[in-house]
Structure 1
């Protein structure tokens, strides 16, 4: 329920009468709580807030918050405790145990499937359908999720421990947990943790854990597929023909990807544990040998691109998305809260910076910097003073088959949405003309227009007038009626394809107080340029101050602002040093003319 961010509608302090009513409801819902425990949860003289929110599905949920921590949430007039309450009273609800890797699935919104349940020696707790349940991990009694029983204990056994076990509503690390102080679960020793049984079989090795997690995920996916088939069964017949064709194209694409992976085994996905270890190594390496105290505060994006990437060992590729953290902000948050290595602060709205580093931290002090190879040292030297060598991306214009032109490409088995190179478009159109014998017999430079070409390439006013087109006109009309796309390939990275035109680097001049001129540079990140590095390079060239500012309406994007009309110097830096093609730079014509004051 809280896997995605929610919207807060209101936040008010609870009234005295409502506080007493809430205590009575909690006592009725959880009779095992004593009067003392109830008073600890809902104290009489401390401020308790009622927060009304809307989750991403549109459902209205009420939160009861004490000391900034949500204690209970109410859905459809039923109260549920949060993990913050369960950590104080872990025996409050019947508990089901599972393996640690399953937690990531629960955080993402998945339910607990029965193949992933670890059966204790005393058997499963006795529950009925809809009863409150909590979920714990092996070797720790601190609950990590709360939900309701999908079936009764008796049905769980009769189903052979297959299917859905617990419908999870809230889990540790989800957005409801993040609404509080973001503390971690306490370590509560679990006597049942050793020698557990998996669906009645004794647990002996890590291999069993991996197999059970895979079974749990497979069971969940199978159930979702069955539900989807039931709801969409009536549509299958109508879409059979197109579905077969799309499946064939998908299989061809999968074969191509597999071939590329076999040809480049180093580019295949790394396990999360391996990527986490590489991320930590590059982080410690960067702090110990790259970052200087004088550089603080340091933008987190600059720290990643300039320092951490340069510390990645040769032959390996650092990719945060392939780690368990998924985002740089979450990784740095872990380094701050769990290891106390750095302190991260949002100095500018939406832009985080590292403001402090604990240089005396033991993990940092005892970290041994890997030896740098000659090749790595040389490449760093080429880039300048602490700057990585920059290689401009290869940008290719592509075209996507539109609905209007689909009949022209059907013979080549290219359906709507297929992305093609311009040369491929020319070849397919040429092949179509030749197969249908449309080349004008009297003049080979012209192509006769048949009904398909008429519908695809001509305007309505031309239907009765135009009977033939020149080859060049034919190709240009075909490309003009397709959806333009582009592909960006950075050295050592997979190609990135997007629809529309690639955004150019925008250079503009604006006036600030007292009619002072400043130069603004946007969209540097689209071309793999770090705004902080470009700002520093410009500052050295023109001896003027530069700052980074967030771009209104965009998240985690910044522009470079430098004093004066510096378009000429910006142009030289982008064209000569970074070798960005002129056609991808907008605003160079606004440079001051020779002899005029900037």
Structure 2
């Protein structure tokens, strides 16, 4: 469930009533916890946060986290513990053991197959189908995953330990684990009768037969070097697992690749390349990284210069500098022509020397197979001061309007695989509507500009007064009605950071003129933080430019919002700063019309 990055919707402190309800839910779900242990899991006074997020598959999940780690998560009103909680209370779930090489597959998103389950001499725990279970490794009883049993114990034995045993929900080393302090499992000695000495006697044979051959039923082949690493992940060596994680980069299919620093052959190959070849490699890396993670379909057409400046430069690894002139292409236009010949994108020349990217084939093998390099990112999109000579310039955020599916509109989108709570772009909404109409053969035979209204469209889009009168809708009317019925969201993406999705429309940067004593005017600017701008930095820049007093204060009636106040009507200077220096789109700036009118010179 958390094998790929998720999107955080909100993160708020828990209320007293919610804390009590959470404690009661945990007590009901895990009755084996004592009252003292329950107070440790859900403390009375320590800080707890409720984090609402969407997984990469669109599932809505509620996570409960303390200061350090996520401790519980809830899916469809069912409570589950995280591995951090299970390390402190491993007894609350029945546990099944597997071999260390299988952990790599589970962390990559695979389910646990029965051939990979270790059967101890005392037999398997007795569970029913649908029971929540923990998964441990041989030699260590610290849980490394949780999953739901697909069979009862009797059915597993009757199936001769073949088939899918457990649907895995959460694992050590997945993204939910990475949301915490990324600590490693503790060393918990196996209980009597568990397979603590099996691997000592037949370690190599079990790794080859059980850990490698049988697990291949559910996933791709594993690199031999990784099998060695995970095979040696025993009770004594688990504390070194954090170093192992830093040496591996997960790719899209769940398999791990050793980074270049750990592969002397790759490092030597890079050193043997000429500077021009190295620049070509960096150019391709930044190009595919930008297409895969930064550019949205709704932003096309996109100026080539904006794509290079705002997207590719931000994908350049730390310590390296992208210089087109040092590559074999010499010019960015030639590089784009090369990409167009490979049918990765389409470029259109608007005027001499001005090119625009009009289409991108995101299904192209080169984009799909590209593995995004692991980068060290700060937790928040921090803006560098333009006046302080920061190393990286400020990049305006990418703002994408989104539409949320409500329960009323859900039947219209379920055939396209979307559920209540999913957020879509306008193009995705359009595609889903067109697909629904064509699948249900609703296009009017006599006039293809009209769509016949079936019961689902009637319930979703028509008012009660219209339901008996309207039997057909024009395509434009159909789409506009659909967008009006959907919930409004917006997505803000800062360069090098995960997108932030908020409900409603984004507030524009607001500039107002206020009157003070002695008929003096001041300019007040609010909502700068929503666009990654530091109000104090903006105040300092304005103070230097206009030589007037500028202050930063809290917005009246708010606790965490700040406003900049500067003497005089400074709308013109602000407009130049926001539009030309920070490249904020004009539609996200309010108050430009309040600039002072220039009088005629005599």
TM-score greater than 0.5 by the shorter chain: no
Q: Indicate the TM-score class for this superposition, using the shorter chain for normalisation.
A: 0.3 to 0.5
Between the two structures, name the one with larger relative contact order (CA 8 Å, sep ≥ 6).
Answer: 2
TM-score in terms of structure 1 length: 0.42
Structure showing greater Rg: 1
TM-score in terms of structure 2 length: 0.41
